[in-house]
Structure 1
Amino acid sequence: MSPDRATISAYLTILSGSAGRLVISLVYFLIVANTLTLGEFGLFATASSTGLILSRLLAFGFVSPVYRVATVKPRLLGAYLAGFFGLAVLSVPLILLVAALAYRLLFEDRLALLPFALIIVSEVFGWRVVELVSIVNNGLRRFRQAAILVILGSSLRTLAAIAFYFFGHASLATWAWAYLGTTMLSAVIALAFFLPRLRLRFVRALYPRRMADAVFAGAAEIVFYVQAELDKLLMLALAGERIAGLYAIAMRVIDLTAMPVRSFNQMLVQKIMQERGLGGGARRRALVEAAIAAISVGGLVAVILLLLPFPGMLGRNVSEAAYLFLPMLLVPAFRNLVEYHAELLYARERTGSRIALLCAVTALKAGLLSWVMTRFGSGDDWAPWLNLVFGAVYLLSASVTYRLLGRR
């Protein structure tokens, strides 16, 4: 990354959106996590994770070509967006089929069908559309608009959480309706006011050439989010709703530490796409990884220090989960670095290699986490072992990623 003024300004603009979203998302998270019971929050978190994975099936992954075109050939953006919307409609039956299968395997005996369906629709057709518009704006280097959209979407979700808290009927079924209304309103606002004015035109000849890239990129996204969210689903399956709720709270706090890292990843991906390469040798790469690790762990340490004198400051349910933070201290670093590696491979268009690596990472994480929870899941001894689980996943990811990037 070149430390020129334009790059720094763009990064700070993106970071301001992430910082605003961080504060607003923290308020939202605290309200929902402490208003629902631990079991209900565990179910909401795992259903939301399922919806996040399913949202990557929308338009068969055609978001990737849209982003590349917005970054390098913006004059074609109208044609590519028309293709995205057409493919989105065609992908709905596949999304419904996979959602039904996920419900049957994981949620049928735990969560009613209606709230599950509402959460899935919220993620797939609400937040994914907001993400699309934000991605387009970032690709066009309209970072301010993207930042405002991110903050606005998070603010609406937080307002819904506040209304949910004061409404008094704090059930997961009620929250699912509020969540749906917020996400769909955010999507409408994004399309109406933040999508650049374009003439949508369907150019059939463009799409067959890009479908392979879309499908591979979409598959990579699905595998990435499967490996990122699999632990929550396994916790629900192996340990039940309450432990899944505690774990979901801990991982949500950890996920908040990733926001400044994701801003950096976004700038780096654009730089590599535009310059067709990754500058710097092994020393620079090591420094970047060390900085990501330090920021990630530092964020969790700040939360731990905050809770020492004020253990109840973040609410009853978060306080119950707080005992997991210190034993899982290294998890944020390993988790964010694996995400960083995936972004490097995406930027270099090593899509097939990215999919293969993420499949290996997913299998390793699933195997190790299942072993830990089967052996130590009856008590609280499982938490420190997660450092080793995520550490092993990181070592596999780093060794394969840098070997691939070193090839010419």
Structure 2
Amino acid sequence: MPADRRLRPWRLGLLAERYAMPVLDLARLRRAGQRLGLPSISATTLRDYAHLFSGSMGRLCLSLLYFLCLTHGLSIVDFGFFAGAVAVGTVLARLAAFGYGSNLFQVGAIRPRLLGHYYANYLLWLSASILPCGILAWLSYRLFFDQPDRLLPYFLIVASEVLPWRMIDTASTVSSGLGRFDHASLAFNIGAVCKAAMAILFLFLPGSTLMEWAVLYLVSNTLALGLILVFLLPRRRLRWRRSATLLRARNALALSGSGLAYTLQAEIDKVLVLTFGGGVAAGMYAICIRVIDLTAVPIRAFNVLMIQRVLVNRSSMAGRRAKVVVELMIAAVSTVAYGGIVIALWFAPNLLGHEVAKAVGLLGLLWLVPALRNLIEYQVELLYANGRMTTTFYVALAVTVVKSALMIAVFWHFAGDDEWIMPVNVVFLASYLVSTVMTYRALREPSNPPAILREAP
């Protein structure tokens, strides 16, 4: 199917694209990229990025609405608990189906005709992974939370992340692998719409509690999943074969392990702050990180496109100069976006709610964190795109150890004091340096082509 037709927006469309595309001077952007030493950027590539970015911008607006409603409806302590539970669920979601969901990106990008086999395997292994995820969720609760009156809402929040939201992520992954970036963006946008709608409903409920929000959170994710399965998931006939059940099991487990380690290093800080800093510090930190997450919108759109291109053409993103320029661009975009957010909140502290207004003074002291956080995420995606699953696991594990040790030291020393905010920059700087050294040292070594190119069921 021709690329321009394959990437045409879905019938409902992403309205933002109609306004974003005329602004892009494709020829000028291509020439600028060549002067910087980047690989040649085609018009199709830029259009693909516009699909992803326009969808991300819509999701950003919905996320702001969702965030605003939550900070109004939940106390700072409840918000910190919710963020911690979501972090645990996000980590455990990487164990869902023992990594088979991540295989679907490579299959969709390189051998889409095999999707029916992998759909069947994915559903089989997803069912088998529910019990281990439940046991680990309970152990995590006893270790980090241990509040008997909040066990049920905790499990509802974790279940929302492990099952419906992880399946939404998988549906988006399949569409991205197939090059249907408009569908991939729309899948997450549907999830964002449902979450925002439930957050608005929660805001108007009398005497809103954490338990009520946990129920609504599960309902919103389940509703979004149902819509995506009906309208967006590419249709393939399930073709389960006994001989193919363990096909690419090694790659799946490697993907699961590396994804688990990466997600752990990205989310462990929220849980550690709750454990060692207390509920108020956890709430303030969760608000800061949530605001910083807004700067990742353009970066994540680029990451998805980069992975798909490298899987199809392994010479993409080759060369030291290209990698340096890309990292500098990511750092610049992240810092400028964060600066705009901080300035806006400085002049209008209540823009994102009264709870966020309490953290405005802290946000101005975290200038390094957005760029470093987005760069670590980019490096992990770069390793994944080059098939370095084992390296991804070791890099993420090393970053987790460094970040955890430093975060515990910071909150142990500054317990109950807002002076913890500045040392957090040092924590992320140390994490970034560890990730950078290990990532680029590994990329200098030769690697084998993706396993999917060498197999058939």
Using the size of structure 2 for normalisation, the TM-score is: 0.87
> Are 1:273 and 2:307 an aligned pair?
no
Counterpart residue number, 2:44: 6
1:209/1:197 CA distance change after superposition, 3 Å: closer
Instruction: For 2:317 and 2:219, locate their aligned partners in 1 and report how far apart those are by CA, in whole Å.
Output: 45
Instruction: For 1:307 and 1:228, locate their aligned partners in 2 and report how far apart those are by CA, in whole Å.
Output: 25
> Are 1:120 and 2:158 an aligned pair?
yes
1:238/1:111 CA distance change after superposition, 3 Å: farther
Aligned length: 408
Counterpart residue number, 1:240: 278
Letter in 2 for 1:292: I
Superposition deviation, residue 68 in structure 1: 0.8
Counterpart residue number, 1:176: 214
Letter in 2 for 1:144: D
Secondary structure of residue in 1 paired with 2:347: coil
Instruction: For 1:366 and 1:122, locate their aligned partners in 2 and report how far apart those are by CA, in whole Å.
Output: 26
Letter in 2 for 1:30: L
Is the CA contact 1:138–1:146 (under 8 Å) kept in the aligned structure 2?
Answer: yes
Is the CA contact 2:102–2:173 (under 8 Å) kept in the aligned structure 1?
Answer: no
Counterpart residue number, 1:297: 335
Q: Deviations over 1:335-390 (max 9, x none)?
A: 11011110111111111111111111100001111111112233111111111110
Letter in 1 for 2:343: L
Is the CA contact 1:338–1:394 (under 8 Å) kept in the aligned structure 2?
Answer: yes
Superposition deviation, residue 185 in structure 1: 0.6
Q: Deviations over 1:252-290 (max 9, x none)?
A: 010111111011011111111111244342222111111
Letter in 1 for 2:192: S
Is the CA contact 1:43–1:111 (under 8 Å) kept in the aligned structure 2?
Answer: no
Counterpart residue number, 2:53: 15
Superposition deviation, residue 111 in structure 1: 5.1
Q: What is the aligned-residue RMSD (CA, Å)?
A: 1.2
What is the 5 A alignment of 1:250-261?
250-261=288-299
What is the 5 A alignment of 1:32-111?
32-109=70-147
Instruction: For 1:390 and 1:304, locate their aligned partners in 2 and report how far apart those are by CA, in whole Å.
Output: 19
Instruction: For 1:358 and 1:144, locate their aligned partners in 2 and report how far apart those are by CA, in whole Å.
Output: 30
Is the CA contact 2:101–2:170 (under 8 Å) kept in the aligned structure 1?
Answer: yes
Secondary structure of residue in 2 paired with 1:202: coil
Aligned mate of 1:310, from 345, 348, 358: 348
What is the 5 A alignment of 1:355-370?
355-370=393-408
Superposition deviation, residue 181 in structure 1: 0.6
Is the CA contact 1:40–1:172 (under 8 Å) kept in the aligned structure 2?
Answer: yes
> Are 1:319 and 2:357 an aligned pair?
yes
Superposition deviation, residue 73 in structure 1: 0.2
1:400/1:111 CA distance change after superposition, 3 Å: farther
Is the CA contact 1:51–1:121 (under 8 Å) kept in the aligned structure 2?
Answer: yes
Is the CA contact 1:300–1:325 (under 8 Å) kept in the aligned structure 2?
Answer: no
Is the CA contact 2:190–2:228 (under 8 Å) kept in the aligned structure 1?
Answer: no
Instruction: For 2:245 and 2:54, locate their aligned partners in 1 and report how far apart those are by CA, in whole Å.
Output: 35
Q: Deviations over 1:175-199 (max 9, x none)?
A: 1111111011111111122111110
Counterpart residue number, 1:195: 233
Structure 1's unaligned 5+ residue stretches are none
Superposition deviation, residue 97 in structure 1: 0.9
Counterpart residue number, 2:386: 348
Superposition deviation, residue 110 in structure 1: 6.5
Instruction: For 2:102 and 2:191, locate their aligned partners in 1 and report how far apart those are by CA, in whole Å.
Output: 22
> Are 1:25 and 2:57 an aligned pair?
no
Letter in 2 for 1:279: M
Superposition deviation, residue 70 in structure 1: 0.8
Is the CA contact 2:165–2:225 (under 8 Å) kept in the aligned structure 1?
Answer: yes
> Are 1:329 and 2:367 an aligned pair?
yes
Aligned mate of 1:167, from 205, 208, 224: 205
Letter in 2 for 1:120: V
Secondary structure of residue in 1 paired with 2:104: helix
Counterpart residue number, 2:251: 213
1:60/1:395 CA distance change after superposition, 3 Å: same
Letter in 2 for 1:188: G
Superposition deviation, residue 128 in structure 1: 0.6
Superposition deviation, residue 67 in structure 1: 1.4
> Are 1:262 and 2:300 an aligned pair?
yes
Instruction: For 2:317 and 2:62, locate their aligned partners in 1 and report how far apart those are by CA, in whole Å.
Output: 35
Counterpart residue number, 1:135: 173
Letter in 2 for 1:100: W
Is the CA contact 1:34–1:318 (under 8 Å) kept in the aligned structure 2?
Answer: no
Superposition deviation, residue 34 in structure 1: 2.3
Letter in 2 for 1:84: Y
Instruction: For 2:211 and 2:92, locate their aligned partners in 1 and report how far apart those are by CA, in whole Å.
Output: 21
Is the CA contact 1:273–1:347 (under 8 Å) kept in the aligned structure 2?
Answer: yes
Q: Deviations over 1:161-185 (max 9, x none)?
A: 0111111222111111111110111
Superposition deviation, residue 243 in structure 1: 0.7
Is the CA contact 2:346–2:360 (under 8 Å) kept in the aligned structure 1?
Answer: no
Instruction: For 1:354 and 1:195, locate their aligned partners in 2 and report how far apart those are by CA, in whole Å.
Output: 28
Is the CA contact 2:66–2:195 (under 8 Å) kept in the aligned structure 1?
Answer: yes
Structure 2's unaligned 5+ residue stretches are 1-38, 447-457
